[in-house]
Every structure is written in C-alpha cells, then in structure tokens.
C-alpha cells in the first residue's frame, strides 16, 4: 500500500511541475534558470552522494568519479552528434526536435532509476525506503518542469511536451514495479546514478544555464538558478 501511494505521489508531482512550466511559458527564462539550478543540485547533492554510498564499498572513489565524467562526456558526444546536420532550416528544426527528445528521454530514464532506487530501498527496510522516496518526491516537481522545458526549448510542440511529461511521470512508477520482480546490486546502481549525474551536469551547465541567460537580464536568471539549487538542496537535506 505504501509503494502504491508513493507511486501515485511521484506521478502527480511530475505532472504538476510540467503543467506549471507550460502555463508560465512567457516566464520561461526564469523557469529555465530555476531548472538549471535544480538539475545541477540534484546531480551534486542527490545523485553523486547516493552513488558513492551505494558503490563505495565495492568500487574506488576514482572509479565512481570517472563514471560521473563519463556521463558528462557521453552526453556531450551525443549532443554534438545530433548537431551534425545540413544547413537547411527544416533540418535545423528536425534535429532540434531530436535533441529535445533525447534530453527528455534521459530525464525519463533517470526518473525510472529513481523508482528503482525507491523499490530497492524498501527491500532494505521501510525506513530507508521512506527516506529515499522523500528525496525523490522532493525533485519530481522539477523533473516535470525540466522535461517540458527541454522539449519546448528545442522547438517541440505542446502535444509533444505533454507526451514526454506523461512518460516521465510514469517512469518512477515503472521503476518501482520492476523491483518487485528482480534486484540490482547496490554497487551497479551506484555506478548508474554516477553516470546520470554526469548527464545532468551537462544538461544544466551546457544547455539550461546558457539558454536562460540568452537575451534576458542575467541578474534574475542567475538569481533563479541559485534559488533552484538552494530549494533542491534544502529539500534533499530535509528528506535525509
């Protein structure tokens, strides 16, 4: 019953975040700034510490850190490959959409791993499971915002953004369900989280922050980036 409630809460938090992003499209630069801070904070304050905690007893610190760097570089490579296209405007739009879909997909995969993390934590004990679930719910709202932002930011339509939002909202539910049928070694899950931390650092630092500052006053966008990081830091700290 507890897992059902948490699954429903994660779905709702993600959907609400996405609808807020769509409703405030005229303030998108501020939302992008907040999202950038939130994404980077999730990587530094949630994913990386969790990765070291899960994989630290099996793998060296340098190995786990290398997976963070590997995630960053893999996403950089993927992003650059999607930019290698012709000079026509139609092709620019098409590949821009592709980049948005890839980024939304990576966010959804991360949300799936969130669900896996919740399910595995409950296999350890209900207390550990509730702590992990609280941390996930704390940033599911931002996950919804980020998913809508990356699709719209790359020229996607509202219908496409809603489709990806729904996928992202279902992802943690699917992750929780999967853990009812098999388990993943903690060390392996830790390396996966480190890899996705690298993905998030690239998305935040190389995409969301530059875009939020583009043609907008940098004071308020920078302020919102700091607010996004602070809000997620506080939420994750309280959840722990």
**169-196 pLDDT, tens digit each:** 999 999 999 999 988 788 888 898 898 8
Domain regions of the chain by residue span = 2-239
Over the chain, what is the mean pLDDT?
81
Residue matched to tokens 């899950």: 189
Q: Of 72, 67, 45, which Cα lies nearest the Cα of 55?
A: 67
What does the alpha-carbon distance between residue 65 and residue 77 come to, in Å, rounded to a whole number?
19
| Backbone dihedral region for residue 174 (phi beyond 0: left; psi -120 to 50: alpha; all else: beta) | alpha
Q: Of 237, 204, 232, which Cα lies nearest the Cα of 75?
A: 204
Burial label for 80, CB within 10 Å (0-12, 13-18, 19+), is exposed
- Tens of pLDDT along 205-236? 876 777 666 656 678 888 988 998 998 888 77
Cβ atoms 150, 203 nearer than 8 A? yes
- Tens of pLDDT along 61-110? 999 999 999 999 988 887 777 555 434 444 444 445 666 777 788 788 87
């Amino acid at each position: 019953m507890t897992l059902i409630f948490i699954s429903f809460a994660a779905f709702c938090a993600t959907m609400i975040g996405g609808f807020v992003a769509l409703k405030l499209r005229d303030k998108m630069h501020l939302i992008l700034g907040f999202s950038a801070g939130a994404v980077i904070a999730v990587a530094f304050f949630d994913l990386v510490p969790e990765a070291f905690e899960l994989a630290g007893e099996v793998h060296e610190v340098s190995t786990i850190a290398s997976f963070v760097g590997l995630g960053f570089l893999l996403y950089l490579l993927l992003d650059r490959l999607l930019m290698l296209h012709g000079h026509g405007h139609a092709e620019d739009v098409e590949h821009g959409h592709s980049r948005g879909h890839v980024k939304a997909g990576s966010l959804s995969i991360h949300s799936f791993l969130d669900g896996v993390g919740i399910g595995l934590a409950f296999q350890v004990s209900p207390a550990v499971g509730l702590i992990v679930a609280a941390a996930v719910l704390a940033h599911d709202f931002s996950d919804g915002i980020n998913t809508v932002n990356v699709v719209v930011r790359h020229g996607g339509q509202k219908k496409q953004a809603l489709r990806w939002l729904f996928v992202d909202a279902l992802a943690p539910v699917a992750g929780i369900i999967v853990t009812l049928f098999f388990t993943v070694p903690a060390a392996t899950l830790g390396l996966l989280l480190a890899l996705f931390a690298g993905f998030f650092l690239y998305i935040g630092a190389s995409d969301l922050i530059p875009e939020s500052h583009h043609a907008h006053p940098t004071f308020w966008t920078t302020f919102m980036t700091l607010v996004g990081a602070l809000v997620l830091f506080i939420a994750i700290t309280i959840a722990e």
